[in-house]
Every structure is written in C-alpha cells, then in structure tokens.
Chain A
Amino acid sequence: MTAADFQALLPFMCVAAAAVIVMLVISFYRNQTLSAILTLAGLLVALASLPIAWSHAPRAIPPLLRVDSFALVHLALLLVGTVAVTVFSQRYLEKYRMERGEFYILLLLSALGALILAAADHFVAFFLGLELLSVSLYVMVGYIFVKEKALEAAVKYLFLAGLTSALLLFGLALIYAALGSMEFSALAAAVAGAPDGLSPFLVAGMLLVFAGAAFKLSVVPFHLWTPDIYQGAPAPVTAFLATVSKGCVVAVLLRFFAPLDPASQTGLFSALAAVAGASMIVGNLLALLQDNLKRILAYSSIAHFGYILVAFLAGGENGPAAATFYLVTYFAATLIAFGVIGYLSPTDQEADTVADYRGLFWRRPGSAALLSIAIFSLLGLPLTAGFMGKFFLVAAGAAAGLWPLLIILTVSATLGIFYYLRIIIAMYSGEGRKSEGRTADAPFAPTSATVLVLLAVLLIVIGIAPEPLLAFIQAATTLAP
C-alpha cells in the first residue's frame, strides 16, 4: 500500500482508531461523557480527513474498496448521521444507571461497517461491512437491557438479521459459482458480455443479495421487523437504524446495480419495481392505523425507501443523484424526529404515543417546532427539503418513464397527510397542561440543541435553495458504468 492509499483510507482509519482508543480508555477510566467526547472527536477527525481522501479520489484499494467521489459523499452523510446519533445518545444514556461507555465502541464499529459498505467494490467487503454493522447493532438495540421491549427487539433483530445474512452469503456463493470472481467489476463484465440474459445462477444470486440488502432497508416483503424493532430500541439507536444502517445499504446497492441496463433485465427490474410499489402502498397504508410515533415513522420509512427505489430503478444519469439527495433530506428529518423523541422520553418509558405529544407546542415550543419541520419535510411540503427530494425522485423517474411507479408514489404519498397531520394536530391542540402528555421536562443540552437546530435549518435551506447541494451531489455521484 502506498502513502496515497493510506490517505484515501484516512476516514476509515480514524473511526477504527477511535473505537480502539475508546476501548483502551474505558479499561482505565469509566466515564460516559469522556467516551462520548472521544467518539465525537474521532468522528469529527474522520470528517475532517474527507478532503484529504477527496484529493486522492478516485482511488481503488484493490481488491476490496474503492474510494471515489460517490463513496466520499456517502461517507460524509454517514459520518454526519453518526455524529448526531452520538450527541443524542450521550444525553439519553445518562438517564440509566448502568455501564454506558461501551455503547460508543459499538456505535463506532457499526459506523465503520457502514463506511465500508459505502465504499465496497467487492462482495467480500460488502459482506464484511454488513456484518460489522449488524453485529454491533444487535447489542445496541438491546443495550438498555432493563427494558423488556428492548431485549425482545434485540432478539428478534438478531434472528432475522442472521437469516438474511445467511441468504446473502448463499447469494454470494451463487454469484461466485457463476463468475469465478467476487469483484463488482466482474459482474459488470459478465453483464456486458451477455446481452441476451444472465445465467439463472447469477440472477438468483443477485436476488439473494438484494434480499439481504432489502432486509436492512426494510422494504416489502422484508419489512415485518421494522415497527417492532423501531419501537423497542432506544430512540438514538432507532435513529441510527433508520438512517445510517439504511443509507449505507442504498449506497452499496447503487454501486452494485449500476452496470445493469433496465431494458435487458426486465425480469429482475420488474421484481424490484414490484418491491418499490408494494413498499410505498403498504408503508403508507399501515402507518394510518398506528397510534405510536415510532411505529408511524417505521411504516413511513418503509414507504420512503420505496420512493428511493424508484430513483434507483430510474438509474441513468440522474437516478443515483436523486437517491442520494433524497437520502440527505431523509437523514436530516429522521434524525430530528428521533432526536426529539429521545429527548422527550422520561426514564421509565419512551414518549412515543401520539397522545404523549398532545399540547407539546404549549409546553415546549422549541421541540414542537423542530418536530414540525421534520414532519413537514417527511411529508414533502413545499419549501422543505423533503419536497425537493420527492421532486427530484419524480423527475428522475419521469426521465426513465416509470409512470406506473410515479402514480403509486403520488397517490400513496398523499396518504401520508393523514398520519403525519395527526401528529401535528396533537402537538398544537391542547392547553399545555403538564398532565396532557407524558414528556420529560429536562431542557435541551446545548450540544443536542445545536445539532437539532442545524439539521432543521438544513431542511429549510435545502428546501429553498437546493441547487448548490444538488449540483455537488450530481457531480460526485456519477457512477461510471
């Protein structure tokens, strides 16, 4: 490995080093705040090293990784998401009397897995990243083991993720059997060399790999775990599950499927279109029936990744950019939502039913305003980032002529009003008496407040002037086929 390779890998090494440092420090001095600060420092240094890595991009680190502008954009997004989760976790964990510092080791390792996925150029890296991400997540979901629901969620997640990992591995074996190689580029070559159709082995393998990824994205029919685990996991972990652990999978899928031409792969692409359509419909319809904020967000996230799959299917020049842009808007809004939920949760139970938020605006106007901005963005109201995200998805889909999917998108997104509006109405009705909802009274810590406000400002700014970010993402995410 050359010095340039090292520099290109700096972000990964910073995160890995931070995990080791936190672990070493904990063995001498157990302090939650210190661990959190070290974690934050590691992540920020990793973020700061991105420009250095950028100067060497695109650079293949054979055979596993490929650090190019596409990967770096996603790296930045994942790192920012992890920073936000770290900040939220610090305050959340303080409420529990237990050893808390170790949480950050898991968080860092999980994040490292996500980063590897975003830069993966080889199926081994794909699998390695996914496992690193998942194994740490099992523990994080059940970290507050005094809560029964968290434990139940952790066990469920462990079993289901285990099954899908096995499927994924089997898919990799099939692909290896068909290609004799595990590099993404070999797949591209095989596709280019067989315009009439791929071997059934290869198609089956790709489908299994997609299933493994789809489980993480929680799209139909691999979505069943989502509401249970969203609800059971601690709010900051749910934030991580909903953003970082899904975003990195979108990145790897985009890269993995980039060489495929939709026209010659009708079977595979029709199956994916069915998944996208079903996710949008099921997610939005089932969210209607929920009374729990975390479950509403879980079902709506199923729908959101259905939307992203539309851009993914559109492919071409604009598909990856639209998907990445949508991820940015979804990250910001989702992080705010779960950050606020985590903040308002008292120790004994999460504040996650809609009734808990009744009259929130009159008790805690700041939290209510933040949550409103996030929800308006998720709903796709004009002048918020969410609207722009949907707009680009529709534009990319329209350019690729995916009209049936676009109609499903528009119709099902309209349903979103019904359940998102319930939350808004609950927050602004009521008189503001303490007894109305079960939320914590503690004021925001300055760090969390800063992160939340920055994210909210981002949503508004992107909603008004998306051009700079979009241009940047478009330039960076053009994937060479």
Chain B
Amino acid sequence: MTPSATALLLLLLPLGGALLTALFLRRRGEAAAWLSVGVAGVLLLLGLGLIFSGERFDRSVEWLRFGEFSLSLGFLFDDLAALMLFVVVFVGFWIHLFSLGYMKGDPHKARFFGGLSLFMFAMIGMTLADDLIMLFIFWELVGLSSYLLINFYFHKPAAVAASKKAFIVNRIGDFGFLLGIIWAYWAFGSINLNEIAVIIGEKPETIATGIALLLFCGAVGKSGQIPLHVWLPDAMEGPTPVSALIHAATMVAAGIYLLCRVSVVMTTEAATVILWIGVATAVYAGFCAIAQRDIKKILAYSTISQLGFMVAAFGLGTRLALADGGSITLGMVTAGAAAAMFHLTTHAFFKALLFLGAGSIIHACHHEQDIFKMGGLARSTPLTFITFTIGVLALIGMPFLAGFFSKDAILYLAWQVSPVAFYLLVLGALLTAFYMSRLWAVAFFGAPRSDGAKHAHENGPVMVVPLIVLALFSIVAGYDALYPEAFAAVMAAIPHPSGADKTLIVGVSVAVLVVGVLSALLFYRPGAAEDALERKARPVHRFLAARLWFDDVYNWYVAKVQQRLALVLSYLELVFISGLLVRGLAGFSGLLGLGLRSLHTGNLNAYLYWILIGLVLLWGLTIGLASGS
C-alpha cells in the first residue's frame, strides 16, 4: 500500500465506522462500542506504520475549479503532521478503550461511540490537510462532533446550553479564520501555503500581520484563549472520556497545530500579539482554577492555562526567529513551534491521564464531582491514585517527568525574548503547582465526605490499563532522546538551555514547584472538607470565582445588544408596516395596537405603500449614484 493510500484509509475508516453506527447500530450499543474501539485500534496500527515508515509526502488532487480559482484536496505529511497524528491515534485509542468501561450500561452508548468515530475522522483529516480550505472544512467538522458530544446528556439543560455555547463561541473564532483565508486569497491570489510563502515577501508587512492575526482568531476559539475561552469549562458537561480526548488532548490543541502550520505568514507584530494573549491566558486560567470545586472544571482551567503556555511558546519562538532580520521559510520548524508541539505532546499524555483519572474517580464515587465531597480515595482506589499522582507531578513540572522538560523549553524561550513574559509564565507555573496540589490533597486524603466517596472502589482493567499506559508515557515523553527518528525535524528544533541559563531555569522551576506545592498543602491541609480560601478570604475567593466576569459580559451583550438590534429592526418593520410614514401620526395609535397583536397580522395597505416607498428609495439611489460618479 502506498503511503497516501494509507493516509486515505486512515481518514475513511473512522468515517465508515461512524456511518455504520448511524445507519445500523443505533440501538445496538454494545456492537457500536466494539466497532468504534476496533476502528481506533486499526487506526493506531496503521498510523504507527505510516509514521515509522519514514515516508513524508505532499500529494494533492484538484477537487474543483471555478474560474481561476481552484481547490485541491490532498495530504501534507511531514514530521509536524506525523507528531500530531501520533498524539491523535495513540491517545485516541486508549481513551476509546477506557470509554468501554466508563460508558458501560449507558443506553445511548451507540450515539457516544458514533460521535467519537466522527471526531477521529475530522481530527485526522485536519492533521493531514494540505491547504487552508481543507483544513477549515475539517476544522468545522471537528467543532461539529465536539458539539454533538458535549450535548450527549441532552436531558440536562446545562449540557444543551454548554454545547450551544461551544458551537457559537467557536464559530466566532472560525469567522475570523475564514476572513483570514479570504483576505489571503484577496492579497495573494492563492490559499496554498507553498504559493503564499513565495509571494509574501513582496507584500507589505501589515497585510501579513492582518492575515496572521485573523488566522490566529481560529486558534483563539478552538484552543480556548482569552477572550474566547469561556466555552471550554462549560464543555465539561460532556462525558469525561470526551473531555479527555477532545477538550484536553487533541481538539483544543488543534489551534496550536494550526499556528505551526501557518508559520510562514507570521510577522513580529503578529507574534507579539500571540505571545501576550498566550501569557495572559496562562496566568488568568491559573487564577481561575484556584476557586473551582468541580474536579473537571479545575482540570479544564488547567488545560486553558497550559494551552496559553503553548501559544506563548509559539509567539516567543516566532519573535526569536524573526529577530535581526531573520525569516521563516516553508517547512521550517521554528524553536517556538517545536517547543509548542513538544508541550502539546507531553500535555496530551498527562492531561488525558488526569481526565481519565478524574473519570475513574467520578465513576467510582457514583458521579460526585465536587473535590470537597470526595476524600479517602488514596486508599479506596489505589491504582487510580498512583497514576493520577504521576499525572499531577508531570503537569506541575516535577524534575525528570514529561512536563518538566517541555515547560523548561518554553521558559527558556521566554528568558531569551522577554523577561516580563518569563516572570509571568513562572507565575503561571507557580499557580499550576498550587491548584493541582490543592486538588490532589483534598480529593485523595482524609475521610470520605459523601456517600459516593464512602462506597468508592477501584474500576475494572478496561479502565485501569489506559491509565497505566498513559502514566508511563507521562514519565518518559519528556526525554527527546527516546523519540524515534520519525519526529527528528521537530525534536531537533526544541530549544534547550545550557550553562548558566540551564542552572537558572532549572533552579527557578524547582523553586516554584516547591513553593507552590508546600503552600497549597499548608493552606488547604490534606482532606479538608471545605475551601480554606473561601473561609479565610472570602472577597479574594469571590473575585477569583467571578473569573473576571467574561461570561457576564457576553451574556449581557447577547441579551442586551444583539437581541435588541434584531428587535429594533423588527420594530422598524412594524413602523413601516403600520404605515407610520404614510398615515402620519394617526398611524401611531394603530402602531401601538398592532404591537400588541401578533406580528404576522401584517397590514395589507402598509405593505402596498412600503413597496412604493422602497421603489422610490431605489430610484433615488440609482439616480443619485449615477450622477455622483
């Protein structure tokens, strides 16, 4: 089989699985589940085969041609795509397996596994896409499947609201993305990245900056960066394996992958904006996580924060590459892209592990999600406890675990580019250590504080084995020497501190780790039944819990601005319908009466008049503009 045929198979298998499930297995949950897990297994084998075959290719066929505009469909499989594909199929498989246990006994299992297969299709398509339009199409499909899966418990109003929010907020980001694509076509006459790379040097830098920032909008939406991060915590209403796969390991990281793909259009100004948005998100989400009680929400804010680290890494590295007249050429992996992808990979392992661990706990505690109502889980669920602890240590940057190396690469970049960003990211790391230690100490120790936690017991092997595998990778994924030759292009570009810098960075990270963990343990005391921060410093807690009022502002905007704009327009129509303009003030009382009646009893006379008025308006416009020009 040729490599591109393998790629095509990778794409079509999960689609076939999703279609089969939708058509024939809707009421046969068990069969749908095995089909989906089987497909994920084959994807893992095929994917690994493709990655380690060493084949790298860029092959496309023309899909359609319209005038001088042509659209091609094709695969671009380089080391960047290989690494992303590895994360998707590898983490994807273990989460599929875990779901077998987690969703056991759910009557709508078929819908769940169908959705997962659809997601795999979209995500693999996005990873392999070779031009902006194809990337955008799969980008939208990923969003759609995420929407379907958040909405899985559709009888819960919160889940329905969350799915709607996710879809709409993402579309706002995607809208910028689409404008970026259109602008790129306008400015360069092409949407093919290879062609853009050639033309971009001839255009003013402001255009490239604008396009880069618009494309970045897509990443802001999908990767939960400020100000579009609001959907991600709510998305935790979906089943926990979905949170692990889509809202922690793969889909939300797609924004980072997109940035790495479009490195060529980046400019110093764009990179600066990207860098600061990433830094702000990393710190902001860290503060938010402190005031959360729901284990999944804490992890969600942690994800947002870590995505902020990745975005910041990309911005920092791009600034570095462009400094002193440097340029980014096609196919080049900058230090920023490499550090971001490295952190993306390690994060995928340990965050998927943490989410699955959380799922395991939630499952064991009979769907209790409040960490202050857990307790004692270290004893009752020992394997989950050990693997979860490894995940926590990897996330907070314990030396010699995965997160330590990838975070240090980012801090080193910041140190080289901007001391302010460096200190802020260090603060972000400190917060990470603090809130994760809080979660860990409160949930696992002390006496069980609810019925669910009292009767908690370890889950079966289907759920525990994925935890162990992911824990293993959370330990070893930081050693780039262990990465095979297949990812060499990315791995070689990762910045590593040396000499005095190394001492400084390692010293700072270890100090931050120790301070964060100790202060959290002292402040919250393992096994606490209530939130110490809430008790001792209520205003601070309330401020953190308000999360800078992003949600409130958006709700206000939709309710008060957007809906009202539509209402005003509808009112204007009513004014014309009731014939205010034609019948003068006498119509006003009629208008009030009409406003009370339902809108559809439109007044025929007014319709007739309005047609004539419209005609006069058009006539005026035609004559006016004709004489004006």
Contacts and interface: CB of A to CB of B under 8 A. Distances in A.
Interface residues of A, number: 72
A265 to B, nearest CB: 8
B422 interface: no
Contact of B629 (A267, A282, A396): A267
B74 to A, nearest CB: 15
Interface string B545-580: 000000000000000000101110110010011000
Interface stretch (B274-282, B298-306, B617-625): B617-625
A431 B144 CA distance: 22
B615 A211 contact: yes
A278 B627 CA distance: 22
B611 interface: yes
Contacts of B154: 428-429
B171 A285 contact: no
Nearest to A469: B64
Interface stretch (A59-67, A114-122, A220-228, A440-448): A220-228
B179 interface: yes
A215 B618 CA distance: 13
Given A164-B611, A410-B179, A382 B629 contact: no
A467 to B, nearest CB: 5
Contacts of A403: 186
Interface in B1-48: 26
Interface stretch (B84-92, B134-142, B253-261): B134-142
Contact of B141 (A215, A286, A383): A383
A268 interface: yes
A21 interface: no
B622 A231 contact: no
Interface in B461-513: none
Interface residues of B, number: 59
Contacts of B563: 288
Given A318-B67, A382-B136, A429-B154, A156 B607 contact: yes
B151 interface: yes
A463 B483 CA distance: 40
Interface string B353-388: 000000000000000000000000000000000000
Interface string B176-197: 0011001001100000000000
Nearest to B111: A428
Nearest to A411: B175
Interface stretch (A6-14, A25-33, A130-138, A202-210): A202-210
Given A224-B577, A421-B167, A467-B64, A270 B615 contact: no
Given A396-B67, A470-B66, A207 B179 contact: no
Given A271-B618, A271-B621, A406-B182, A228 B600 contact: yes
B596 interface: no
A156 B608 CA distance: 10
Interface string A281-292: 010011011000
Contact of B66 (A221, A395, A410, A421): A395
Given A222-B614, A267-B623, A417 B140 contact: no
B626 A268 contact: yes
A436 interface: no
Given A224-B610, A394-B182, A207 B570 contact: no
A156 B69 contact: no
Contact of A167 (B144, B160, B615, B626): B615
B402 to A, nearest CB: 35
Task: Give the secondary structure class of B's interface.
Answer: helix
A155 B601 CA distance: 13
A177 interface: no
B178 A224 contact: no
A406 B618 CA distance: 21
B592 to A, nearest CB: 19
B191 to A, nearest CB: 11
A128 B573 CA distance: 32
A429 B160 contact: yes
Given A421-B164, A421-B167, A271 B625 contact: yes
A145 interface: no
A297 B289 CA distance: 43
A414 interface: yes
A274 B566 CA distance: 19
A88 interface: no
Given A221-B614, A286-B566, A429-B154, A163 B608 contact: yes
Contacts of B273: none
Contacts of A270: 621-622, 625
B602 interface: yes
B566 A410 contact: no
Nearest to B563: A288
A163 B611 contact: yes
A159 interface: yes
A436 B608 CA distance: 40
Nearest to A325: B66
B26 A318 contact: no
A268 B175 contact: no
Nearest to B629: A266
Contact of A275 (B160, B570, B618): B618
B619 A381 contact: no
Contact of A221 (B168, B611, B627): B611
Contacts of B66: 318, 321-322, 392, 395-396, 470, 474
Given A398-B185, A429-B154, A271 B622 contact: yes
Contacts of A51: none
A285 B566 contact: yes
Contacts of B67: 317-318, 395-396, 399
A411 B600 CA distance: 27
Contacts of B567: 289
Given A286-B566, A431-B155, A417 B68 contact: no
Nearest to B136: A382
Contacts of B323: none
A371 B604 CA distance: 32
- Residue in B144, B567, B607 with the greatest tally of chain A CB atoms within 10 Å: B607
Given A270-B622, A288-B563, A425-B160, 20 more contacts: A156-B602, A160-B607, A197-B626, A207-B615, A211-B611, A221-B618, A224-B573, A224-B576, A224-B611, A266-B625, A267-B625, A270-B625, A274-B621, A282-B569, A286-B569, A317-B67, A381-B140, A398-B186, A414-B175, A470-B66
20 contacts: A156-B602, A160-B608, A167-B615, A203-B626, A208-B615, A224-B602, A267-B621, A267-B627, A271-B621, A271-B625, A282-B569, A285-B566, A286-B573, A321-B66, A388-B64, A395-B66, A414-B172, A421-B164, A467-B63, A474-B66
Interface of A: 155-156, 159-160, 163-164, 167, 197, 200, 203-204, 207-208, 210-211, 215, 220-222, 224-225, 227-228, 231, 265-268, 270-271, 274-275, 282, 285-286, 288-289, 295, 317-318, 321-322, 365, 381-383, 387-388, 391-392, 394-396, 398-399, 403, 406-407, 410-411, 414, 417-418, 421, 425, 428-429, 431, 466-467, 470, 474
Interface of B: 26, 63-69, 71, 136-137, 140-141, 144, 151, 154-155, 160, 164, 167-168, 171-172, 175, 178-179, 182, 185-186, 563, 565-567, 569-570, 573, 576-577, 600, 602, 604, 607-608, 610-611, 613-615, 617-619, 621-627, 629
Closest 6 CB pairs of A and B: A267-B626, A221-B614, A382-B137, A270-B625, A267-B622, A271-B622
